């Protein structure tokens, strides 16, 4: 039975409440055997180096220093875990596709990323961040392939979307939708964001609150 729209929770407000509470770093994993013990659902942020993962996490939580940002691609070299209000964890993953660091490091990061994406039971969704100015690139293909094979739910989030006109943004989203059409694990909603202007931040918070609700993990206080 479908829910009457009038009875549907206010996920925008629930998302605001979720991210208004305490958010803190609690674990870093540099190797496959260094992942933390399970402590609830995890939502991973993946993407090419310098796509703006840490900036987006900081914008979501309203805490500029929660996730470390850098103008140097390849700075994040571990899976960094953040507790969000005791409700779920955000996982900031190493950026991929940056070739200016040593091949050995690239191989280690890539192995860690794919190991986590394939085998983490607590992983509820992967937010695959794509620079809105450039769209999907060949370097995104291996991660898309891993997610598809593992049947891990993933959602595309376009970053730096303030750089596009409304027409350009519409064309970018349409092109990505066409690519994702045959990928069963892809979430249908593509969200345009900008950490600089705040575009899409409220929408993304609401989307994550809805995901927790659907998984019966949204705290009661978020819906009061």
- In the chain, where are the structural domains located? 16-218
Beta strands in 97-222, from DSSP E residues, in sequence order: 123-131, 154-159, 191-192
16-218 has which fold?
Answer: Rossmann fold (3.40.50)
Helices (H) and strands (E) in the chain, counts: 6, 7
Residue identified by tokens 């013990």 is: 37
Predicted pLDDT at 105: 61
Global pTM? Answer: 0.90
Q: Check if the beta carbon of residue 53 is closer than 8 Å to that of residue 92.
A: yes
Q: Average pLDDT for residues 161-180, to the nearest whole number?
A: 97
Give the model confidence (pLDDT) of 125-157 as tens digits. 999 999 999 999 998 998 898 888 888 999 999
pLDDT of residue 166: 97
Residue 1: predicted pLDDT: 42
Two tokens, residue 11: 């996920």
Question: Which token pair is 167?
Answer: 């027409």
């Amino acid at each position: 039975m479908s829910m009457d729209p009038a009875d549907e929770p206010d996920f925008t407000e629930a998302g605001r409440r979720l991210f208004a509470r305490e958010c803190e770093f609690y674990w870093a994993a540099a190797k496959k055997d260094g992942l933390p013990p399970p402590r609830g659902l995890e939502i991973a942020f993946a993407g090419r180096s310098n796509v703006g993962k840490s900036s987006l996490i900081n914008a979501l939580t309203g805490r500029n220093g929660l996730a470390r940002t850098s103008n140097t691609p390849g700075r994040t070299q571990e899976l960094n875990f953040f507790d969000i209000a005791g409700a779920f964890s955000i996982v900031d993953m190493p950026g991929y596709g940056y070739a200016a660091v040593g091949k050995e490091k690239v191989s280690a990061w890539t192995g860690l990323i794919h190991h986590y994406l394939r085998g983490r039971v607590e992983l509820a969704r992967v937010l695959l961040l794509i620079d809105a100015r450039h769209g999907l690139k060949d370097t995104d293909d291996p991660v898309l392939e891993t997610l598809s094979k593992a049947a891990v739910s993933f959602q595309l989030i376009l970053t730096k979307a303030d750089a596009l006109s409304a027409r350009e943004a519409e064309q970018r989203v349409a092109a990505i939708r066409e690519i994702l059409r045959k990928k069963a694990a892809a979430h249908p909603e593509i969200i345009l964001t900008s950490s600089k202007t705040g575009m899409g931040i409220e929408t993304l918070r609401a989307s994550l609150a809805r995901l927790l609700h659907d998984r019966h993990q949204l705290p009661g206080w978020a819906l009061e």
